[in-house]
Amino acid sequence: MKIAKYKHYIKNKDSEVRPKSLRAANSLFTELLNYGIIADDEVLARISRLKPKKALKICQEIASEYTVGALNPPLFKNWEERTFFSTEEFCIQIFGYVFQIGGNDLEDPEFSRNLLKNIDFKKFKALSLATDEEVKEYATNLFNANVSQDKTTSEKLIKAAKYLDFKFLGEIKSDEARIAALIGLSKDNDLLACLNHLKCKPADVLRFAATKNDFSLVKLPADVKYAHLSWGERIASLKFLQQFDFEYLSEGMSMNRAAWNRYFNHVHLLSQKGFPNRFRDICVAYYTANGNRLDNAGVFADDIKKLVKSKIVEVTNGGTLAFRNFASRMQSAIEAQDIDEIQALGEKRPNYILRNLTSVANGITTKSNKKFSKFVKSLLKDASPDVLFSILSIDVTAKWRIIDVKGDTRVEPANYNPVIGDIQKDIELEIYSRWGYPGKVEVQNALKDSIIPFLAKNTNLARGTKFKVEKKDFLYLYVHWIQGDQRTDIDHSFLTFDKNWNSGMVNFRNQSNGYIAQSGDITSAPAPNGATEYGQIKLNSIPKGIKYIVPVINSWTGNSFDDNKEVWAGFWASDEKVFTLDRKHNTYKLDQPAKANIPFVFEVDNSEILLLDINMRDGGAGSNAGQYVEVVKNVISATQTKNYISIGKIAKMLSGGKDEVSFTITNKAENNNEITPENLFSLFSE
């Protein structure tokens, strides 16, 4: 597998040299010499230990990469009897005369080394074996790249996974990329081992069965048709599902129920002899999820009665079964202000309590505050840094709060329970206990109020980050995108507000208001160049009284941003009258499953850009900027009052009581006692 020019990865097989494979390796070596390339010993050694068919295939792939065609092993053997030779083959003949080599020499393990003794090949390019570190980096970048999963990309990922060992593939975030890895990796490995190694989700067994013949079914449409599964694949898939508990399986089955029903019918879950006993938890979850009746449960009746008693399953008035997911049971406990039930559920999923602390705290009465605070404190030792900092960023006195849920930003009245303030104090102690230093942590003055980069949600910028706009004639705010398989029309508009929140709008229908000029309407952005829409703001012409200028980006065609190969917003202050696109500008990725985004706001009085990061999943599709006026007002208010974790604050949390300086946070680290903001994440590695 090629990971870079002249750099290839070949699996290391612990076996003896195979004569036919050795011949293929030496043929490749000679073929490459003709093109000024030397394959190193390790490449040849690994090829020679593969099975002959595999060795020949790899040799042909490498040869086709750097030469005019595939290998031709008989080039030397009995070549005198041939009647036609290409120019390249005549060159190989010359190699044969000059170095006195023949066809039988290709079976000599010392062939390449003996040949290299006869001439100085210093000017030749080296074809080398990639190191494990290089392959790991290549695989990580390949399988976690933010690109649309078209047919070409999926085939590339599947092919790469076929060549890779387990050690090079870890957890993969994208469903499409993970399934491509699963398909490729399972060609030569046990399916159950692959599912576990890639940390697959329950729905991935459905995706695997759907995409074996047609990768376009990876999103599991309701009418999905599954490919034939061998007996071994069926057993491996069900064994994988059996590893999850009833609740986790049931929650998974509650999403895309039609696809699950088709899958279980496809593998004959309930009808295959022995399956109901062998895979009992799966069968009970499937039976319950379909709203069947308890009085018809048969062999599953006792299991279901236990679930009803534990309140995980309920029997409706009509006698049918209904699974109550974790969030539903937690919400009931919150509404009932039942601290004992909240704690019992929280012990099962402690991370849920911490990640949803503001909601859960609404179910805690003043009388229960101390008990709840003590319980949450017991959970902190296993919490990740991002969760702890997220809780610290809550301003318990705020009027509004911002909630991000997969491509949707919601602004709601805050109404925070004061108990969160007590928990924040415990978190500061926990942070020092786990990551603190005995001496002081100092910060360069210019960085004290900067927000910690690794706490960003969307890019290297975090919501609430402020940027001073240089004194220039113009400020350009823009969006650039490259569409995927479908045409995407993204519009860039503007909302303006005065101090009384009276609003105005500039868009493709009203392209200028005297101080903002919109570039025009572009309706598609094909690769490779894509398209850009922008607004030019004349900084010296903004009327007095205008307080905020807000860019609004929405998908007119209704595609979500993550359906595109690339979407990003940016801003640029300049004296230039003509806009120039440059990635060196301050840029911000739009990679959420949202259809509208408000990336930032220009605060006119302070001449600052304030990052907002507002995503709207239900935007786009012909919508205009005017519908977001109230959302913008509330988010600006919430963003300005949020308790952001600055570098200065974190330095204070990490500092001990001793006078000496443990290290300094600075823009430019010049020794081991200094660290830059971009590397602060390394302080919190577990």
By C-alpha distance, which of 140, 146, 216, 141 is closest to 565?
146
516 and 476 in a single domain? The answer is yes
pLDDT band at residue 685 using 50, 70 and 90 as cut-offs:
confident
CB 595 within 8 A of CB 617: yes
Q: Which residue has the tokens 């009970």?
A: 284
Q: Which residue has the tokens 């509208």?
A: 596
By C-alpha distance, which of 207, 229, 203 is closest to 216?
207
Please write down the HEC assignment for all residues of 216-254. HHHHCCCCCCCCCCCHHHHHHHHHHHHCCCHHHHHHHHC
For a pLDDT cut of 90, what percent of the chain falls above it?
Answer: 47
Bridge partner list, 38: 126
Q: pTM for the full model?
A: 0.60
524 and 595 in a single domain? The answer is yes
Nearby residues of 453 by Cβ (< 8 Å), 6 or more positions away: 460, 462, 677, 678, 680, 681
Neighbours of 2 (CB within 10 A): 17
428 and 475 in a single domain? The answer is no
> How far is the CA of 3 from the CAs of 9, 24, 128, 666, 680, in angstroms?
7, 21, 11, 36, 31
Domain-embedded: residue 261: no
Amino acid at 379: L
At 526 the pLDDT is 92
Helix, strand, coil content of the chain in percent (nearest 5): 45, 20, 40
The domain of 679 spans: 436-454+646-684
The answer to whether residue 609 scores a pLDDT higher than 60 is yes
pLDDT in tens, 178-203: 999 999 999 989 999 999 999 999 99
The answer to whether residue 134 scores a pLDDT higher than 70 is yes
pLDDT average, residue stretch 436-441: 95
636 and 677 in a single domain? The answer is no
At 438 the pLDDT is 95
Q: Which residue has the tokens 């919490």?
A: 383
> How far is the CA of 44 from the CAs of 25, 58, 176, in angstroms?
5, 11, 34
586 and 446 in a single domain? The answer is no
- CA-atom Rg of the chain in angstroms: 31
Dihedral sign (CA 552, 554, 560, 564): negative
539 and 564 in a single domain? The answer is yes
User: Under DSSP, is residue 256 helix (H, G, I), strand (E, B) or coil?
Assistant: coil
Q: Any idea what the Cα angle at residue 60 is, between residues 54 and 62, rounded to 5°?
A: 105
Strand order in the sheet with 596-603: 466-468, 608-616, 596-603, 546-555, 490-498, 503-506
pLDDT band at residue 87 using 50, 70 and 90 as cut-offs:
very low
- CB burial of residue 618 (10 Å; 0-12, 13-18, 19+): exposed
User: Under DSSP, is residue 43 helix (H, G, I), strand (E, B) or coil?
Assistant: helix
Of 313-322, 634-643, 649-658, the range with the lowest mean pLDDT is: 634-643
Of 143-152, 345-354, 456-465, 497-506, the range with the lowest mean pLDDT is: 456-465
Higher pLDDT: 583 or 22? It is 22
> How far is the CA of 678 from the CAs of 453, 456, 460, in angstroms?
6, 11, 9
The answer to whether residue 482 scores a pLDDT higher than 60 is yes
pLDDT in tens, 205-218: 999 999 998 998 99
Domain-embedded: residue 534: yes
474 and 617 in a single domain? The answer is yes
pLDDT in tens, 377-389: 999 999 988 889 8
Go through 182-210 and write b for each residue having 16 or more CB atoms within 10 A of its CB, e for each that does not. bbbbbeebebbebbebbebebbbbbbbbb
Q: What's phi and psi for 432, nearest 5 deg?
A: -65, -40
Domain-embedded: residue 112: yes
Cα 226 from Cα 266, distance rounded (Å): 7
Report strand pairing: 440-443 vs 661-665: parallel
Nearby residues of 677 by Cβ (< 8 Å), 6 or more positions away: 447, 450, 452, 453, 647, 665, 667
Specify the CATH number for the domain of residue 627: 2.60.60.30
Cα 671 from Cα 679, distance rounded (Å): 14
Residue 56 tokens read as 């020949």
For a pLDDT cut of 70, what percent of the chain falls above it?
Answer: 89
pLDDT band at residue 612 using 50, 70 and 90 as cut-offs:
confident
Report strand pairing: 490-498 vs 503-506: antiparallel
Last residue of a domain, one of 130, 158, 173: 130
Which helix H or strand E contains 115, and what residues bound it? helix 111-116
Cα 663 from Cα 655, distance rounded (Å): 10
Q: How many domains does the chain have?
A: 4
At 148 the pLDDT is 54
At 70 the pLDDT is 47
Q: What's phi and psi for 276, nearest 5 deg?
A: -60, -30
Of 114-118, 139-143, 212-216, 570-574, the range with the lowest mean pLDDT is: 114-118
Domain-embedded: residue 48: yes
By C-alpha distance, which of 236, 305, 239, 234 is closest to 278?
239
The answer to whether residue 119 scores a pLDDT higher than 80 is no
Nearby residues of 611 by Cβ (< 8 Å), 6 or more positions away: 461, 462, 463, 464, 465, 466, 588, 599, 600
CB 341 within 8 A of CB 396: no
Cα 559 from Cα 486, distance rounded (Å): 8
At 79 the pLDDT is 42
Cα 648 from Cα 666, distance rounded (Å): 11
Domain-embedded: residue 141: no
Amino acid at 669: A
Mean pLDDT of the chain: 86
By C-alpha distance, which of 492, 471, 479, 478 is closest to 539?
471
pLDDT in tens, 548-606: 999 999 999 888 998 898 999 999 999 999 999 987 788 888 888 889 999 999 999 99
482 and 612 in a single domain? The answer is yes
Last residue of a domain, one of 102, 130, 158: 130
pLDDT in tens, 400-417: 777 777 778 888 888 899
Cα 436 from Cα 450, distance rounded (Å): 20
Last residue of a domain, one of 83, 115, 130: 130
Cα 276 from Cα 365, distance rounded (Å): 45
494 and 601 in a single domain? The answer is yes
pLDDT band at residue 81 using 50, 70 and 90 as cut-offs:
very low
Q: Any idea what the Cα angle at residue 322 is, between residues 329 and 343, rounded to 5°?
A: 15
Residue 145 tokens read as 């790249």
The answer to whether residue 63 scores a pLDDT higher than 50 is yes
Report strand pairing: 596-603 vs 546-555: antiparallel
Domain-embedded: residue 337: yes
Cα 543 from Cα 339, distance rounded (Å): 55
446 and 557 in a single domain? The answer is no
Domain-embedded: residue 278: no
CB 364 within 8 A of CB 337: yes
Residue 473 tokens read as 């004639």
By C-alpha distance, which of 76, 3, 12 is closest to 47?
12
pLDDT average, residue stretch 671-683: 88
Long-range Cβ pairs for the range 515-521 (8 Å, 24+): 515/541, 515/542, 515/543, 516/549, 518/492, 518/493, 518/494, 519/478, 519/492, 519/579, 521/491
Domain-embedded: residue 90: yes
Residue 383's region, left for phi above 0, alpha for psi from -120 to 50, else beta, is beta
Of 133-147, 556-570, 650-664, the range with the lowest mean pLDDT is: 133-147
At 495 the pLDDT is 93
Task: Find which of 55-64, 108-117, 232-241 is predicted with most confidence, using mean pLDDT.
Answer: 232-241
444 and 479 in a single domain? The answer is no
Higher pLDDT: 275 or 121? It is 275
10 and 69 in a single domain? The answer is yes
At 147 the pLDDT is 55
Q: DSSP of 541-562, one letter per residue?
A: GPPTTEEEEEEEEEETT---GG
